[in-house]
Amino acid sequence: MNTIPAFGLGTFRLQDQLVIDSVLNGLELGYRAIDTAQIYGNEAEVGAAIAASGVRRDELFLTTKIWVDHYAKDKLLPSLEESLAKLRTDYVDLTLIHWPAPGNGVSVEEFMTALAEAKARGLTRRIGVSNFNIELTRQAIAVVGKEEVATNQIELSPYLQNRKLVDFLQGQGIHVTSYMTLAYGKVLADPVIAAIAQRRQATPAQVALAWALQRGYSVIPSSTKRENLASNLLAQTLRLSDEDMARIAALERNGREVNPDGLAPQWD
């Protein structure tokens, strides 16, 4: 796989047997991209679920993210090797810097250089960033080149459309991955989304995910329920009209759900 899959399975906040069951169910239903992170504390369980699934490694697209404690050049590669051991694989398909964490003492140049080294050593097939604003993405590009930044994984939902950042990324040819696409479930109760869902004979979740897919983003929704995992997948075949898309565009309210002190940048 040379490109980032449009649809993946997120594992944020899922622990222990919950994440094992979610990944097993997802793989049985046809998911082939799985997104985890060092800080999620579930890489070993994700690895166990993949091993139990019997799905071949070369059919999967695995993403993990380096946590801020491991950004220094002497820590990043060993931390990724530890992640690979937990995931029971020799490589991941994509490794991201999880948060820019400005002021934590490690420069963008240092951690992007270390990330590029991880790719050069074959520990990861692609590298990228997560939660970077325009200026920090520019700094990452300056270190490794824009063609090396496979994606910027950012919070995006009908309530937080991040247009300035998205326009910049797409102009640079950097793929956009949307997380929190359902805004912790808040958009599922939105009357505009609900009306579109009713008209399209779809669920509100399918509408929100289809909106992101039609905008060209990858999505990584998570669920502990098999029926929701199956239902979410159907968003890939839902086509929204220009009018639907315009109505969703009008829902923008800068509704950011995730903004941790010390980790997040100054948003555009």
Catalytic residue among 31, 40, 179, 217: 40
Q: What is the DSSP letter of 174?
A: P
The total number of residues shown for the chain amounts to: 268
Question: 175 among the known binding-site residues?
Answer: no
Rounded Cα gap, residues 155 and 132, in angstroms: 10
Catalytic: 91? no
The CB-based long-range contact list for 136-143 (8 Å cut-off, 24+ gap) reads 136/100, 136/102, 136/108, 136/265, 137/168, 137/169, 137/172, 137/174, 139/108, 139/109, 139/112, 140/97, 140/108, 140/112, 141/172, 142/109, 143/108, 143/109, 143/112, 143/113, 143/116
Which residues are catalytically annotated? 40
Binding-site residues for substrate: 98
